[in-house]
Structure 1
Amino acid sequence: MKHPAAKRERAEQQGRRAESVAAGWLRLHGWRILARRVRTSRGEVDLIAKRGGLVAFVEVKARTKAKDLETAIDHHRLKRVAAAAEILYSEYCQNGEDARIDVILVAPRRLPTHLPNVWHGF
């Protein structure tokens, strides 16, 4: 049986790799990465990116199987990202930028899937 700490460490490494893939994907599409893994008292935002007058607070989800991406994100997780984004908004949107919450799904041997503006209560 594998040790729980080793499993957590592998998941952490997988998450960091996925965030790097997602950041690269965003850069290729004209985004500038402003921050990574920003923690607040209400949640964490994996990436904060800007393109033009738009700031995206991005949740990155990685799965080892592409079929598991369909269930990787849920309302509860998005609600935590939105709560964190509300706290961070004034810091990253100082010049009246629009803001939205995006999700990027990452799985081996496939291009990342970018889901823009997934939270409409922001």
Structure 2
Amino acid sequence: MAGKDDLGRMGEELAARYLVEKGYAILDRNWRCDQGEIDIIAWQGGEVVFVEVKTRSGLKFGHPFEAITTAKLARMNRLAYAWCAQGSDRVPRIRVDVIAVIAPHGSEPQLEHLERVF
């Protein structure tokens, strides 16, 4: 299990660096509440962006985006609103993005970013 956890942390770190390089400001990472966890919360272009990161070492069990089901998106939406409800500031707009990281052993990781999936 530690290997899977390490791979996930590495993927989230790569995703956060990628977002910063693209001009996003990271607001929070691994935010948790009783309903679940959001991997990355960022600010970009007047929007709060809630990012789900899926990392795999290969495609044997499918592309990481295949793990994003309608139930997962609905949960992300609920979590996003829970995060927004904590703050005193009005959030103008929100969106949910997904980042896939494929990191084969001994090879350079590949990153794909889908914006506005929800």
Band the TM-score falls in, shorter-chain normalisation: 0.7 to 0.9
- Structure 1 residues 39-79: Cα deviation after superposition (integer angstroms, max 9, x where no partner): 11112100000023111011000011145324232122222
Q: Report the aligned-residue RMSD.
A: 1.9
**Structure 1 SS opposite 2:116:** coil
Whether contact under 8 Å (1:22, 1:60) holds in the other structure is yes
* 1:1-122 alignment, distance < 5 Å: 8-66=1-59, 68-91=63-86, 94-108=89-103, 109-119=108-118
Deviation at 1:19, TM superposition (A): 0.4
Which deviates more, 22-31 or 102-111? 102-111
Aligned residues: 112
Higher helix share: 1
Whether contact under 8 Å (2:41, 2:50) holds in the other structure is yes
**2: CA distance between counterparts of 1:68 and 1:75?**
16
**1: CA distance between counterparts of 2:34 and 2:65?**
28
Q: Which runs of 5+ in 2 are unaligned?
A: none
Whether contact under 8 Å (2:23, 2:44) holds in the other structure is yes
Q: Which runs of 5+ in 1 are unaligned?
A: 1-7
Distance change in 2, residues 1:86/1:30 (3 Å):
same
Whether contact under 8 Å (2:16, 2:40) holds in the other structure is yes
Q: Partner residue of 1:5?
A: none
Which deviates more, 57-66 or 109-118? 109-118
**1: CA distance between counterparts of 2:7 and 2:43?**
24
Q: Which amino acid aligns with 2:56?
A: R
Deviation at 1:111, TM superposition (A): 3.4
Distance change in 2, residues 1:73/1:96 (3 Å):
closer
